[in-house]
Amino acid sequence: MNKVLVIDDDKELCTLLKKCITKNNMDGEVCYSGKDGLAKISQMDFQLIVLDVMMPDMDGFEALKKIREVSSVPVLMLTSKTENSDKVYGLRIGADDYLTKPFNIEEFIARVVSLIRRYTILNSSEEKGQDKLSFKGLIIELDSRIVTVNDEKIELPAKEFDILSYCARNQGKILTKQQIYEEVWKEQYAYDDSNIMAIISRLRKKIEPDSSHPTYIQTVKGVGYRFNREV
């Protein structure tokens, strides 16, 4: 059974989220501080961490940094802040997704299930040494660097393929432009958003059924991009 750890100092919210997690056939654990959460993570394996940003002893950002020192488990950030800078910062230091309070419980569960599914598939693929990613109408062959769109094979320039494969390997995860740049260019982010945008625009014209309404690489306004979790 998948285990989910909720770290939040709001005890009423923790009780509600644990109840919803359990109702959806998952095992829920709760901690009311970052320090207690880190201790729990060292004792048990979890498939997802739900982490609040605003906590008194150790904020969610600091807790996230410490989690990333020891684990690649998906982290869903909860925040009452609406500034994009806070969301971008959390994603940049290792969060996989975020929800802004107050949020819809159905959306919360959908995010939880999606992140766990992606994490499970990714781990399974790594164990099997998978060299192919398959989606609806799209196949990415990692070794040969060939992409097949609706049974038609296309060869992409290096940067287009690298961006596509990086996003696809992180299906469902919001990736900031900085994360994409540093992964693909292998150098410190140069704040060259226009370069990434231009490459993704060209890529969409080659792989998307309708480039103006992307099916695969979707824009997350003010944050970055996400490979559609539903394909």
Domain assignments of the chain as residue spans, ordered by start: 3-124, 131-227
pLDDT of residue 125: 57
Per-residue model confidence as pLDDT tens digits over 86-107: 788 888 888 988 898 889 999 9
Neighbours of 157 (CB within 10 A): 11
Per-residue model confidence as pLDDT tens digits over 209-228: 998 999 999 999 888 999 99
Which CATH code is given to the segment(s) 131-227?
1.10.10.10
- Token output for 226: 């996400």
- Asked if residue 160 lies in contact with residue 203, where contact means CB atoms within 8 angstroms, the answer is yes
Give CA–CA dist 64/5, Å, rounded.
Answer: 13
Tell me the CA distances in angstroms from 207 to 83, 116, 137, 152, 181, one per residue in order.
33, 27, 9, 10, 21
Higher pLDDT, 142 or 51: 51
- What's the mean pLDDT when you consider all of the chain? 89
Give CA–CA dist 139/153, Å, rounded.
Answer: 9
- Token output for 213: 């309404």
**Which of 25, 28, 26, 24 has the alpha carbon at shortest distance from 8?**
28
The predicted model gives 130-152 an average pLDDT of 89
Topology adopted by domain 3-124: Rossmann fold (3.40.50)
Q: Is-above-0.75 flag for pTM?
A: no
Per-residue model confidence as pLDDT tens digits over 173-208: 999 998 998 888 877 776 666 788 999 999 999 999
pLDDT of residue 121: 65
Q: Which residues contact 95 (CB under 8 A, 6 or more apart)?
A: 51, 64, 75, 76, 77
* Exposed/middle/buried for residue 218 (C-beta within 10 Å: 0-12, 13-18, 19+): middle
- Does residue 123 carry a pLDDT above 70? no
**Which of 124, 129, 206, 121 has the alpha carbon at shortest distance from 163?**
206
Using 50, 70 and 90 to split pLDDT, how confident is the model at 127? low
Give CA–CA dist 122/171, Å, rounded.
Answer: 9
